[in-house]
Amino acid sequence: MAFFSFFGSYCSRYSQHEHPLTELEVRRLVSEVRVETLKDNEERAVEDGILARRRGDGKISLRQICETLRQLELRRAISIYDRKKLMKVFEEHFRKFGN
């Protein structure tokens, strides 16, 4: 439980309100980032992590995305710079579509 409370405090600035996010949208958003340091296998890890975290109805919150990316960062699957860039992409997407 302490593991999630760590993520909770780190990602607490993000909304817990869940919004629909399709698999296609996830893959498009992650591939659009084009972070030079984000390799193909890291891109897949991000996509798979976010898709696995969504609820059965395809909804996810920015906080859940943050927690997923933070976990990948701590496992050294992505860098801190990748995480920050990806969060900006998802924040903009949610803002753009009123999510």
Task: Map out the domains of the chain as residue ranges.
Answer: 2-96
Whole-angstrom Cα distance, residue 76 to residue 95? 28
Residue 38: per-residue pLDDT: 82
Residue 84: per-residue pLDDT: 92
In this structure, the strands spanning 19-20 and 59-60 are antiparallel
pLDDT in tens, the chain (99 residues): 444 444 457 799 999 999 999 999 999 999 877 666 788 899 999 999 999 999 889 999 999 999 999 999 999 999 999 999 999 999 999 998 665
Of 83, 88, 90, nearest in space to 42 by CA: 83
